[in-house]
A = this chain, B = another copy of it.
Amino acid sequence: MARIGIYGATGYTGYELIKLLVRHPEVELVFATARSDAGKRLSEVFPTMIDQPLVSVEQADLHAVDLIFTCLPHNAPELIPLVQRALDAGKKLIDFSDTFRLNDPDDYARRRGRPHPAPELLVAAVYGLPELHREAIRHAQLVANTGCYPLTAILPLWPLVKAGLIADPEVIVDSKSGVSGAGRSLALKSHFGEAHETFSAYNIGRVHRHLGEMEQETGLQIIFSPHLLPVYRGILSTIYVKLQPGISADQVRAAYALYRDEPFIKLLPEGRLPELRHVQQTMYLAMGLQQVDLASGRYIIVSALDNLLKGASGQAVQSMNLMLGFPEPLGLI
């Protein structure tokens, strides 16, 4: 049994992660930290969960575990020192924030407008996308868990890039996400009266913090429009891409053959498009393909996943399985 510690157990991703770990046959949860709920048991916060005590960061014993998940809020000041400490102690670590996802400190600095706080960690970290970086994840000590939105663009686009089919590097990604993506912290935009029975766009164009990951992994120039759906979980993205003129749908499908053995990717048959309910509570990224016009090479791809599973906590467990030498889908089916 591998021994696991979680920093940040009471947010939505921490909570989903614990549900997965409880069902995983080869791991044991050693500690789980919380801020305001430290001192309680997890079952007091969520009555049908396990009785796991929630401890403060100070009370958590780094040395008692083999692998650590950090599910802290973006920009939590304790993150960098904590990661440094864990790595120095020889522990493996999977981080859920967007701190370590870019490969290049200069790219980070350009996109964020300030230098990375720990560039040597950034360089050492592996982007936690098993379908693209399986071997690197197996040998990584620090894995940057992927962002939820970027997966819905990278996984459908990468085979087309690899096959050289893309004619215009400017690609439009129109994404729609459930509210759980905004986390459990209170904010007017996540208030029931402002998020329910409505729909809105935000941070559209070239400004969202997830843009960097998408462009790094695909080499494309992405116009990205995130929207907020009145559902709890799931992201669906509609992707507008121009392929080489005259490329047939069969040729496009052939490019996806490299995903044939992937346990968690489903390319739907001709004429089917994924819906959120198909992927909610599952580990699948599902995608469908629609040719608009053969001559012009215009195609639309629709992709969908559960932002808390394949888009966050399940993805992290998939990486954990690789890092600990377990079968990759263990505990995830």
A interface list, Cβ under 8 A from B: 12, 22-23, 44, 46-48, 172, 174, 176, 179-180, 184, 186-188, 190-202, 204-206, 223, 225, 227, 229-232, 234, 236, 238, 240, 266, 268-269, 272-282, 284, 286, 290-293, 298, 300, 302, 333
A45, chain B: closest CB distance, angstroms? 10
With both chains docked as a complex, state the minimum distance between the C-beta of A270 and any C-beta of chain B, in angstroms.
Answer: 12
Instruction: For A189, give the chain B residue with the smallest CB separation.
Output: B192
Pairs of residues from A and B, 3 with the lowest C-beta to C-beta distance, nearest first:
A200-B275, A198-B277, A186-B186
Q: How many copies of this chain does one complex carry?
A: 4
CA of A23 to CA of B173, assembled, Å: 35
Residue of B whose beta carbon sits closest to that of A285: B48
Considering the chains assembled together, what is the distance between the CA atoms of A29 and B268 in angstroms? 24
Most buried by B among A197, A200, A298, A302: A197
Asked if residues B229 and A229 are in contact (CB atoms below 8 Å), the reply is yes
Contacts of A198 in B (CB 8 A): 231, 234, 275-277, 280
Chain B contacts for A174, CB-based, 8 A: 174, 225, 238
Partner of A281, one of B47, B188, B190, B281: B281
List of B residues within 8 angstroms of A282 by Cβ: 48
Contact A231 B197 (CB under 8 A): yes
**Chain B residue at smallest Cβ distance from A242:** B170
- A281 closest partner in B (C-beta): B281
> Are A191 and B191 touching (Cβ within 8 A)?
yes
Q: Give Cα A55–Cα B229 distance, bound, in whole angstroms.
A: 33
The residue among A201, A269, A272 with the most chain B CB atoms within 10 A of its own CB is: A201
Given the known A-B contacts A198-B276, A238-B225, A280-B198, are A184 and B191 also in contact in the complex, defined by CB atoms under 8 Å? Answer: yes
Give the docked Cα–Cα distance between A191 and B282 (Å).
Answer: 22
Q: In the docked arrangement, what's the CA distance between A184 and B298, Å?
A: 35
In terms of DSSP, what is the predominant structure of the interface of chain A?
mixed
Nearest chain B residue, comparing its CB with the CB of A333: B23
Given A206-B293, A223-B298, A279-B48, also A232-B201 (CB < 8 A): no
A188 and B12 CA atoms in complex are apart in Å by 13
Expressed in whole angstroms, the Cα–Cα distance for A27 and B46 within the complex equals 31
Q: Which of A193, A266, A280 has the most CB of B within 10 A?
A: A193
Separation of A238 and B174 alpha carbons in the complex (Å): 8
Q: Measured between alpha carbons, how far is A194 from B193 in the docked complex, in Å?
A: 12
Contact A290 B192 (CB under 8 A): no
- Given A184-B191, A198-B234, A238-B174, check contact A205 B48 (CB 8 Å): no
CB <8 Å contact, A192 and B186:
no
Report the separation of the CA atoms of residues A198 and B232 in the bound assembly, to the nearest whole angstrom. 9
Supposing A176-B176, A223-B292 touch, asked if A302 and B204 sit within 8 A by C-beta, the answer is yes
Of all chain B residues, which has the CB nearest A284?
B48
* A122 → chain B closest CB, angstroms: 27
Task: Tell me the minimal C-beta distance from A3 to chain B in angstroms.
Answer: 21
Best-buried of A174, A199, A240 by chain B (most CB within 10 Å): A199
Q: Inside 8 A of A266's CB, which chain B residues have their CB?
A: 47-48
